[in-house]
Amino acid sequence: MGRGTGRGKSILFGEHFVVYGLPALAAGISAETVALVSRSKDLGWRIEDRRPEVPGYKAKKLDEQTVSINNVLRAAGLDMSDKGIFIEYEGDLVCASGFGASAASCVSLARALSDEFGLGFDDDKINEIAFEGEKGYHGTPSGIDNTASTFGGLVWYVRDLAGGAPTFEKLSSRTQFI
């Protein structure tokens, strides 16, 4: 069984401006989503989502979650037409808007898939895959949520409006952050 985690996030400043290419500062928080992936005899994927939620949130986001999972699988290079997996989500990150729940689910799933299938993805690749997953929820995400979820700690982030890779830097501090 493959296992992966993704952190929630808090954008400290620049939240509404990061989509316009202005800098933002985000922090990974200690609450996390855990994804467990196991192989299944049934083709395709099935899911059991045991994460805590704001009432009705997961039902409201179900169609977006389906697109997101398919995007993550595609970005990871996994074709479910000839194999099956069972995805389980759990953890203490509450599913609600603003906490990075969608990004944490994408990051944790990418890590669990890498673990289960021995893909050897590093954090840069996990972040790239999670960004593709975020498109299922947000259409054109800035990328800050998946970056904070992947790398944790404090992240200085600037989106490239020309479509290139964003500029981000993990900031260090004398105080240890997650």
Which domains, and CATH codes, for the chain?
A: 2-11+31-143 (3.30.230.10)
Q: What is the pTM of this model?
A: 0.93
CB contact burial 146-169 (16+ within 10 A = b; e otherwise):
bbbbbbbbbbebbbeeeeeebebe
Q: pLDDT value at position 176?
A: 58
Q: Name the phi and psi angles at 50, rounded to 5.
A: -105, 15
- 105-141 pLDDT, tens digit each: 999 999 999 999 999 999 999 999 999 999 999 998 9
> pLDDT at position 154, please?
92
pLDDT of residue 175: 60
Q: What is the pLDDT of residue 14?
A: 87
pLDDT classification of 160: cutoffs 50, 70, 90? confident
Q: What are the φ/ψ torsions at residue 117 (nearest 5 degrees)?
A: -100, 5
